[in-house]
Structure 1
Amino acid sequence: MTFTRYAIYFAPPAKAEWTKFATSWLGWDMETGSLVAHPVVGDIDVAAVTEVPRKYGLHATMKPPFRLREVQTFDALHAACGSFASNQPPVTLDGLEIARLGRFLALRPMGETQALNTLAAACVEQLDNFREAATEAELTRRRAAGLTPEQEANLVQWGYPYVLDGFRFHITLSGKLDKPTLRATQEALQAHLAPLLPQPFQITDLALMGEAEDGRFHLIHRYALSG
């Protein structure tokens, strides 16, 4: 399979019950590379609610999607990801909770997140020599959202505004929703997903992802955090 971009994600463990539900909720299994049926959850139009994040799969971004530099190879990236993960310790957090981030819903970590933030920053910095510089069109598109000086500096240096001090770990569960839909969807997820969420929540590996030509992301390989 040919990939147009790569990314480093936290990909939840495939066999966990919460992962199975949340994967079907989104409707795309990036581990198997296949569409999956949405669960029936009250009156929620799950397909509509999850249309925007579906192609990315169930994940938290650690290093945002990037095009591979022409002087680099996939084999070199694969090897570097393995070496990187072997020097990073697993991360344990208190748990996950369903939260509102503006007008969309996501899973957010509970408790102290310093170790998690440190891991994400290391992903961004230590693997950046594989990233092709952002084009002017990509920079312009990011700037259209309105960026702070810090976010602008991140965009120029790292190709994405919301990294390092601007990073907030989250596993997206919806697109932007109107207030009534947001409230109803959060209540539905609270009833069906929240009881399955892990406490504590552990990150024991990172995943190299590839974006196929159809725009969907596929899991290429998991790397155990063994530092």
Structure 2
Amino acid sequence: MKRYAVYAVPGINKEEVAEAIRLRTAVDDWYGRQEFHDLTQDARRYGFHATLKAPIHLAAGRTEAQLCAAADAFAAGRGPVVISALRPAAIGGFRALVPGRDPEDLDVLAADALWTFEDFRAPLTQGDIRRRRPENLEQRERELFERWGYPYVLDKYLFHFTLTDHVPLERTAEIDVAIKDHFDGVSGVDVPLTAVVISVEPAPGAAFEVLSVHPFAEQAALETPDAPRPS
């Protein structure tokens, strides 16, 4: 049974600005490094992206075409946003790239996507619930999981591009040095996000594939922050 997700994927189109293309190329090259393939299996399966709406099964009566039409409308109603000053970071046991300055616009984008596409989400199955192990979640995360089918949304949301799966303690120094060196050319760079993407998992355990790209309104101005803002 297919699953669908709404993702942020800078550099998805060849005509995008150099910073976005360079970021996507760097992450794709990272996934291709054979010496770390044992630490990037899940990251590679989901592909280069930041999650806006986590993978879902379509609700009864909803179709793939309707989902894509909703993504068209969602994207047409907003302008590009900036992913500012990207930097490597540890999130729990895995590694990712995160914005280095206030991600408020990205948080708003993700919250809007969460609401907009909720009607497309089928209820969680018992298997879905068991796989997430809600007994291991914090209370707030469990509340969000029960309401939205995913625990890391709204006040628990963190915009990020996943680089690794869980990293064993004995390999953290090795992986951190490798990531710092590999992403030196994109660290600290502001990257515009100009579209949302619908990705699909064709079958359980298969790699996610880009189904459709939905550009933001072209006429909207792209504002790049000049300095960190108070949080």
Could you tell me whether the CA contact under 8 Å between 1:11 and 1:207 is conserved in 2? yes
Look up the match of 1:133: 123
For residues 155-191 of structure 1, what are the alpha-carbon distances to aligned partners after superposition, in whole Å with 9 as ceiling and x for unaligned? 1221111111111111111111122312211111211
Look up the match of 2:2: 4
Pair 103,149 (structure 1): closer, same or farther in 2 beyond 3 Å: closer
Shift of 1:144: 4.0
Q: In angstroms, what is the RMSD of aligned CA positions?
A: 1.8
Does residue 1:106 correspond to 2:104, yes or no? no
Could you tell me whether the CA contact under 8 Å between 1:106 and 1:171 is conserved in 2? yes
1:70-89 pair list within 5 angstroms:
70-89=60-79
Pair 145,187 (structure 1): closer, same or farther in 2 beyond 3 Å: farther
Alignment TM-score, normalising by the size of structure 1 = 0.86
- Structure 2 gap ranges (5+): 15-20, 221-231
One of 75, 80, 105 as aligned partner of 1:115? 105
Could you tell me whether the CA contact under 8 Å between 1:103 and 1:182 is conserved in 2? no
- Mapped partners of 1:66, 1:39: distance in 2: 30
Larger proportion of strand: 1
Look up the match of 2:44: 54
Shift of 1:198: 6.3
Alignment TM-score, normalising by the size of structure 2 = 0.84
- Mapped partners of 1:171, 1:93: distance in 2: 11
Look up the match of 1:160: 150
For residues 80-131 of structure 1, what are the alpha-carbon distances to aligned partners after superposition, in whole Å with 9 as ceiling and x for unaligned? 1100111122211322101111221100111111111010011011111111
Shift of 1:137: 2.4
Could you tell me whether the CA contact under 8 Å between 2:134 and 2:142 is conserved in 1? no
Look up the match of 1:33: none
Look up the match of 2:223: none
Could you tell me whether the CA contact under 8 Å between 2:10 and 2:194 is conserved in 1? no
SS in 1 for 2:165: coil
Could you tell me whether the CA contact under 8 Å between 1:134 and 1:159 is conserved in 2? yes
Could you tell me whether the CA contact under 8 Å between 2:11 and 2:23 is conserved in 1? no
Pair 173,8 (structure 1): closer, same or farther in 2 beyond 3 Å: same
Aligned identity (percent) is: 29
Look up the match of 1:63: 53
SS in 1 for 2:212: strand
For residues 51-74 of structure 1, what are the alpha-carbon distances to aligned partners after superposition, in whole Å with 9 as ceiling and x for unaligned? 231110111111000001121111
For residues 15-73 of structure 1, what are the alpha-carbon distances to aligned partners after superposition, in whole Å with 9 as ceiling and x for unaligned? 512311211322xxxxxxxxxxx247xxxx22112123111011111100000112111
Look up the match of 2:28: 23
SS in 1 for 2:102: coil
Does residue 1:215 correspond to 2:218, yes or no? no
- Mapped partners of 2:185, 2:156: distance in 1: 30
